[in-house]
Amino acid sequence: MLAAHVLAGHAQRVTIVERDRFPAEAEAEAEAEAEAAHDAEAAHNAGSTLAGTAPRPGVPQSRHPHVLLEGGQLALEALLPGFMEELRAAGAPRVGMPEDIVQWQSGRWFRRVPASTHIHTGSRAQIERLIRRRVLANPSVTLVDGTETVGLLGDASRVRGVLLRERGDGARGEQRELAADLVVDASGRGTKAPRWLTAVGAEAPHEETIDTGLAYASRVYRDTTGTLGTDASAAALGFYVVPNPDQPYGVVVLPLEDGTHLATFSGLRGDEPPTDEEEFETYAKRLPHPVVHRWMRDAEPLSPVSGFRRTANVRRRYDLPGRRPAGFLATGDALCTFNPIYGQGMAVAALSAVALRDALADPRRTPTTRRVQKELLAASRQAWDISAGADKKMPGAVGNAAVVRPADRVAGWYLRRVQERTPGDPVVGRAFRSALTLKEPLSALFAPKVARAVLFGPALPTPEEPPLTRDAGDA
């Protein structure tokens, strides 16, 4: 959607091909029912698409948490002015870090000092719907839904369109051609474009992969204990236990826009979180502290347990030399997909759209296919460095990019010291969060004030037990 929005400023017609169908009337009715509901459970049942518990088939991951990092918020606002205000008006929870979250990492609880960054934790379905409404309001943009792309038109020198096939019970499986001057693959981590390129005589991109075998499972709950709320008036909005090589189990409990909370466990290959409802709650006992298990035991479950297993980091190097056609670009997860535990996907999609906009609008350079593709890859580089850099250190990580190089060891030593100081030191924590949320470059971690604290300062005291109330200290 965001790529189409950008391209609409440079083309007479932009066509979005979407494999799922968007029943606009049913969606509007569900939204109205959810808004009219007077309690969280009724809102959850009426507006299940809003909470992401009944995702469209093409996005099974929408059953799980989707956070919008600050870097992505800034990018979305640049592309669609006023979007963040619209998102807040729709009820998307705004969670301040570290103020609103009870967080554990590397053996320490975080001080809950005033927030230096905010994330939005509403459902994927809500963000999609708001973006879709804005983008499709442009008469230059056309949506062809219920249709899948099954191949490319053209040859190794230039792509000239796509081959389509309608989906659904009434479809007859007939294929048709859609001519285009530019084809953008934004089909996500399940992209088939490398195979299609090979079919027209071009060369598939080299793929870099790192796979920890991480899996996760999620379930929607309603808080009945008064421990967690969904707005700033609550003592806490969620829990977050961050896994690491020494402690591979993780959990995140985050608020949704309908007043419920989405709880997600993560674990590595061979000890994946179960989708059985009773075993799901028992899995919480693996965490380094019982606080989440106690909360879950008393909270009210509102959905089945959903699992997800495809979490490898994959980067497709379309930017490298090779026999590839003009008129074809890849963006978003189709270009670079990350372990979803880091919550980077939506932010990188928005940052990539900004990069596409800037590359096409640059008066100094002709926007050739390869040049624009390089800019799209650059937009995802920081997220890749964070996700891949952390995952290659996890036990059992495999893939051709999982090798730890000498430079990684040096950077790892410094980053370990950063992480040791982040829970208790507001200066280091602020810099660390600004980099993780893609708001500032990784060089923010080496600013003089931060480097002094990391290299020469001690790791400051942190709470010994889960801090269920906010800290009055300075950010």
Q: At 345, which helix (H) or strand (E)?
A: helix 345-361
Tell how strand 141-144 and strand 117-120 pair up: unpaired
Q: Residue 464's closest CA among 212, 291, 206, 210?
A: 291
Per-residue pLDDT, 173: 77
Per-residue pLDDT, 43: 39
Tokens 């096939």, located at residue: 165
Q: Which amino acid is at 119?
A: I
DSSP string over 8-38: TTT-S-EEEE-SS---HHHHHHHHHHHHH-S
Per-residue pLDDT, 49: 36
Determine the Cα–Cα distance for residues 243 and 211; give it in Å rounded to an integer: 15
pTM of the model: 0.91
Cα 348 to the center of its chain, rounded Å: 8
Residue 362 lies in a domain: no
Residue 225 lies in a domain: yes
Burial class (CB in 10 A: 0-12, 13-18, 19+), 456: exposed
Tell how strand 238-242 and strand 101-105 pair up: parallel
Determine the Cα–Cα distance for residues 373 and 381; give it in Å rounded to an integer: 13
Residue 229 lies in a domain: yes
Helix axis angle for 406-421 and 448-456, nearest 10°, is: 90
Per-residue pLDDT, 28: 52
Residue 220 lies in a domain: yes
pLDDT along the chain (475 residues), means of 10: 97 95 56 46 38 61 90 98 96 95 95 96 92 96 95 97 87 88 96 97 97 95 93 91 93 96 95 94 95 96 93 96 95 96 95 97 91 97 95 93 89 93 96 97 97 96 94 56
Tokens of 72: 């992505």
Per-residue pLDDT, 138: 97
Residue 9 lies in a domain: no
Residue 296 lies in a domain: yes
Tokens of 233: 């008036």
Domain total of the chain: 1
* Rounded alpha-carbon distances, angstroms, from residue 245 to 25, 108, 311, 390, 413: 48, 15, 17, 9, 14
DSSP string over 69-88: -HHHHHHHHHHSTTHHHHHH
Domain that holds residue 221: 215-308
Cβ distance 2 to 79 under 8 Å? yes
Cβ distance 163 to 149 under 8 Å? yes
Residue 230 lies in a domain: yes
Q: Residue 419's closest CA among 393, 384, 396?
A: 393
Determine the Cα–Cα distance for residues 462 and 448; give it in Å rounded to an integer: 24
Tokens 């009820």, located at residue: 91
Per-residue pLDDT, 470: 86
Give me the CATH number covering residue 255. 3.30.70
Determine the Cα–Cα distance for residues 475 and 23; give it in Å rounded to an integer: 45
Residue 258 lies in a domain: yes
